[in-house]
Amino acid sequence: MEKSKAIIDAHNVSKIYNPETIPVYAVNNVHLHIDEGEFTALVGPSGSGKTTLLNLIGGLDKTDSGNIYINGIDITRLSAGELINFRLMNIGFVFQSFNLIPVLTARENVEFIMLLQGTDKKARQQRVQQLFREIGLEDKIDSRPAQLSGGQQQRVAVARALASKPRFVLADEPTANLDSKSAANLLDVMELLNREEKMTFLFSTHDQRVIERARRVITLVDGAIASDVSATPVLQTTER
């Protein structure tokens, strides 16, 4: 039998709120298999469980039942310390609320994960310069988050997620605060990394611009997978 290429394998995963009174299934018995190199969008109405499922896969929240395997490791069985280290070395996160560190510059925010990983100074500097070039914010590299617009902060947050070349990236509404050109440029960067480095991307999104680029679209309704279809991405041409 051919060895599975799965980078994410979720089995019977549920997350339940108010289990002792009126249970609400934020995620309801989800089975999900994501292979290395996929570019996948999770879609569905607000409250459908998209962000909760991303948080469970990223180990930011705990399942009430089921198991989640990342690169063959069951993260639901890791201790808190093991989980922190695992996330650091394997997963890039793009949060809807940015989560940039306010006292650090944009450069320092992007560099921070690589610093924790022990990446040497020259490699950190080269990677940061490359990413700021690609996201079009070279002139803001030494600005602090409060000096940046919401869209600029989002681009820095995406650069931070990509900086350490993680095995996969979990992105919660990564283009929500961006104009059309900025969103297209960011998606270009992500698609380039996806193609050239086989970096896996899983998006939670309402944005048609992301959905049109995805090669697989998974629809959640009331915490359960309602459909899972392969898609043909819309060819994009972006003027920089």
Tens digits of per-residue pLDDT, 157-199? Answer: 989 999 988 989 999 999 887 888 888 888 998 898 899 888 9
CATH number at residue 157: 3.40.50.300
For residue 145, being part of any structural domain is answered with yes
Look at residue 213 and tell me whether its pLDDT is greater than 90. Answer: yes
What is the structure's pLDDT at 240?
45
Alpha-carbon distances, residue 186 vs 60, 93, 107, 178 (angstroms): 24, 15, 17, 9
For residue 235, being part of any structural domain is answered with no
**How does pLDDT run across 71-129, given as a tens digit for each residue?**
999 999 999 999 999 999 999 999 878 889 999 999 999 999 999 999 999 999 999 99
For residue 237, being part of any structural domain is answered with no
- The total of structural domains in the chain comes to 1
For residue 135, being part of any structural domain is answered with yes
- Which is higher by pLDDT, 38 or 136? 38
For residue 166, being part of any structural domain is answered with yes
What is the structure's pLDDT at 96?
79
pLDDT grade for 236, boundaries at 50, 70 and 90? low
Q: Around 89, how many Cα atoms within 13 Å sit in the side-chain half-sphere?
A: 9
What is the structure's pLDDT at 176?
83
For residue 15, being part of any structural domain is answered with no
Mean pLDDT of the 199-220 span: 95
For residue 103, being part of any structural domain is answered with yes
Look at residue 139 and tell me whether its pLDDT is greater than 80. Answer: yes
For residue 223, being part of any structural domain is answered with yes
Could you list the residue range(s) of the whole structural domain that residue 124 is in? 37-63+73-230
**How does pLDDT run across 1-40, given as a tens digit for each residue?**
334 578 999 999 999 998 788 889 999 999 999 999 999 9
